[in-house]
Amino acid sequence: MSLPLFNKWQQQDLPQYLAEDLSSIAQDEKAMEDRFYQYVSFGTGGMRGILGAGTNRMNIYTIRRVAEGLARYIASHGEEAKLRGVVIAYDTRHFSYEFAVETARVLGVHHIKAYVYKEARPTPQLSFTVRELKAFAGVVITASHNPKQYNGFKVYGEDGAQLVPAGANAIIQHMNEIDDIFNITVAETEQLEKMNLLQWILEDLDQKFMAQLLTLKTNAAIDYNMKLVYTPLHGAGLVPVVEGLKQFGFKEVHIVKEQALQDGAFPTVAYPNPEEAIAFSMAIALGKQVGADLLLATDPDADRLGVAVRNGDNYELLTGNQLGALLLHYLLKTKQVNGTLPTNGTLLKTIVTSELGTAIAAQFGVETVNTLTGFKYIAEKIAEFEATGSHTYIFGYEESYGYLIETFARDKDAVQVALKVAEMAAYYATEQKTLLQALEGLYEQFGYYQEALISKTFEGKDGQEQMAAILNDYRINPPTAFAGIAVVRVEDYLSSTATMNDGTTEAIKLPKENVLKFILEDGSWVTVRPSGTEPKCKFYVGVKQTSLEAAQQVVNKLKKSLTE
């Protein structure tokens, strides 16, 4: 099938850069198969893939296909949905702006209004803007923290949250109806502007977003002279994070100038991911130069935040689980002191996130509700709480550096959290404590929780088949022990069934997903799941012990067991 599709693409009047890219694989059958064996997959997180020519690549034609599917989905909801329109934002990646405009050009043919940001803005700001403008949907062009070769297309519903499976499946159905992506009609931007089907937005929404961000400031008793370093890693977080810190009152904010350049080549980092220590190299160098206490880094679309804390002459990075626990405790403590802690307060976290948060929440009388991995499920629960009044949302987070405090956005929000982490660190500074010392205090009080992640990459068609086989083997032949620690419960989220080691079962009341979680007799756990956005299989480990050394020993044993 690859050769006929390859030939069809060659016969098209492609932009020169795509034609050259196609020619480069003309003699490589394996590369040809990888480019054309499928379309870039679209799921509840949208689509994400490598830039280039072919159906399994991100380019203007695959963008037109998903935009056409979205347009048909919106049109199926009637004229009001079309009039309410779609907000489109984008990060600083290669072709992000072009893909945003291409999306508006497809929507315009269907007389669907598009509000397009003039400049790159964060994903959480897109979420906020959908709600603010009462739009029917939102799109953000981003590949989040992936390397420079990638870009993507995420779709948001009218609540500002990523689409849940029902909406995503409807768009997929419309995409599958498209016989020839080269026949998709697009309108000219000038024509759309004249017809008021394309409206550019920026300053007014920036101001409204900032006004909401400033509501996060709840503690004035902090050290405003604490020295901070911030890096946007060449991404879209620069404007709101820097302005937000300034308006919060911080006087010593130092920006990594080389990484303030909004450049999709990410010239100073191979991998613009604040989860990785290497991404902090330049921030650490600047931190040492200015004597900073706290380093903050956001990924290209500013939905993930990484944090490093000064520890003597060096800096120590916090994990997503650690920062989440610190934020949760600080938020609950502040609400308790201010008398604003609700009686039905609820923490939302994912099934692969540390149980330290559960323990902290319980001390404050706050319930913990677990969701599947993906912030769309946390957002779905927030909407449910609002509709029923059964719970009051307090905080939501996941181990992969995603957090949400206030619900004016409905996706993980590194802008919110950058400001709140700065406030939290400045608060502890008044008590002569660093965030590391505050974390040690939590461990001493609640136990030493430690987690780890092993991520294995499976590229291409063969890799996808191999990853499916791994999950299938775990499902058919479930391990009875990891590192000599017996499995006492197997949770299969695809069959929605938990099976105990005595053979008894119980239902799992969460949406179906291809995930397996093994609970061990000492309370440790291991989870296996394929990534929804990358060609990776992820293996998560979580333990609790009475000392940091003991916890790390168990983590290492479990990691070794999984690797072997």
Half-sphere exposure of 252 (CA within 13 A, CB side): 15
Separation between Cα atoms, residue 146 and residue 371, nearest integer Å: 24
C-alpha distances in Å from residue 464, one per residue of 172, 461, 474? 20, 5, 16
Q: In the 3-class helix/strand/coil scheme, how is 172-202 assigned residue by residue?
A: HHHHHCCCCHHHCCCCCHHHHHHCCCEEEEC
Task: Write the DSSP string, 53-88.
Answer: SSTTSBSHHHHHHHHHHHHHHHHTT-HHHHHH-EEE
C-alpha distances in Å from residue 560, one per residue of 452, 455, 546, 549? 11, 13, 21, 16
Q: Which residues pair with 109 in a beta bridge?
A: none
Q: How far apart are the first and last CA of the chain?
A: 38
| Tokens at 266, concatenated | 């990410």
Q: Say whether 144 is catalytic.
A: yes
Local structure of 370: helix, strand or coil: strand
Separation between Cα atoms, residue 326 and residue 32, nearest integer Å: 48
Q: Which of 2, 144, 354, 400 is catalytic?
A: 144
Contact criterion met (CB below 8 Å) for 197 and 111: yes
Residue 190 CB-density burial (10 A; 0-12 exposed, 13-18 middle, 19+ buried): exposed
Separation between Cα atoms, residue 302 and residue 124, nearest integer Å: 7
Separation between Cα atoms, residue 425 and residue 226, nearest integer Å: 9
Q: Which residue has the tokens 């419960």?
A: 489
Rg value, the chain, Cα = 24
Contact criterion met (CB below 8 Å) for 349 and 357: yes
Task: Write the DSSP string, 268-316.
Answer: T-SS--TTSGGGGHHHHHHHHHHT-SEEEEE-TTS--EEEEEEETTEEE
Alpha-carbon 533 to chain mean position:
10
Q: Which residues are catalytic?
A: 144
